Structure 1
Amino acid sequence: MRALWLIGGLLSVGLALIGVVLPLLPTVPFLLLAAFCFARSSERLHAWLLSHKTFGPMIADWHRSGAIRPNAKKAATVSIAAVFGISLIVGVKTSVLIIQAVVLSAVLFFIWTRPNS
């Protein structure tokens, strides 16, 4: 069972890293999932994740108060706007743009209604 938790943690870290550059893939939820999985599989990886210079504070902020740092909110907003702008430029179908606008607006609403850390 520990091996499954370890694989889940490693996959979650991988998805979080991809989410750093892809705005539609959230980073923090995957980091939280990785911390959860590592807590059940590897004390060393769990400690590494919680003490990581970049990821550790995000996990601590979320666990403490459900907070997202203002810089992370701004970065997410810029990334989401860039993705939507690229979709407009390349001429994505109107129906897809509408779906994208609704989903991205919901994501932005969620992000900006979380407390600041």
Structure 2
Amino acid sequence: MRILWSIAGGVALAVGIVGIVLPLLPTTPLLLLAAFCFARSSPRLEAWLVEHPRFGPPIRDWRAEGAISPRAKTMAMIAIGATFALSVFMRLPSHVLLIQAVTLGAVTLFILTRPAPKPSLNAIKPPAAKR
């Protein structure tokens, strides 16, 4: 079973990395899925992913607080708007647009109601001492 979790984690990570350059692929949820899968298959891979300087912060924020950064929220809203605009531009049938509007509206509501991550103690720098 561990091998299946490893494969699923690897696929989620690979698709998530592709999502960095393709705006319609959701990177962060795929990274969360990869961390979930690696937690069940390889503590070493999970630790690598969670501690990664680029991929780790959104995973740690989500695990600690269920939080999404303001930048990630903005990028998600841009992708959601672009997706719906493209659908309208392509003149998809009205029932498809309705289903898409309801689904994307629910996703938008979910994203916007998540808290922003609190600054970590490591990120807060003490004020410089006056001489």
TM range (shorter): 0.7 to 0.9
Letter in 1 for 2:78: V
Q: Hey, what does 2:64 align to over in structure 1?
A: 64
Shift of 1:88: 1.1
Percent identity over the alignment? Answer: 52
Letter in 1 for 2:8: G
Whole-Å separation in 2 of the counterparts to 1:5 and 1:87: 35
Q: How does 1:12-91 map to 2 (within 5 A)?
A: 12-20=12-20, 21-23=22-24, 25-91=25-91
Whole-Å separation in 1 of the counterparts to 2:100 and 2:62: 26
Structure 2: runs of 5+ lacking an equivalent: 118-131
Cα distance change of structure 1 residues 102 and 26 upon mapping to structure 2, 3 Å threshold: same
Whole-Å separation in 2 of the counterparts to 1:96 and 1:36: 32
Q: Hey, what does 2:109 align to over in structure 1?
A: 109
Q: TM-score, normalised by structure 1?
A: 0.87
The structure with the larger Rg is: 2
**30-39 or 72-81, which moves further after superposition?**
30-39
Q: Hey, what does 2:97 align to over in structure 1?
A: 97
Higher normalized contact order (CA 8 Å, seq sep 6+, divided by chain length): 1
Of Structure 1 and Structure 2, the greater helix share is in 1
Shift of 1:22: 4.7
Shift of 1:59: 0.4
Q: Secondary structure at the match of 1:68?
A: coil
Structure 1: runs of 5+ lacking an equivalent: none
RMSD: 1.7
Once the two structures are superposed, residues 7-51 of structure 1 have per-residue CA deviations (whole angstroms, 9 ceiling, x without a partner) of 12112213323444354x543333222112212322332122112
Q: Hey, what does 2:129 align to over in structure 1?
A: none
Any runs of at least 4 consecutive aligned residues in structure 1 with deviations exceeding 4 A, and if so which? none
Letter in 2 for 1:107: V
Q: Secondary structure at the match of 2:11?
A: helix
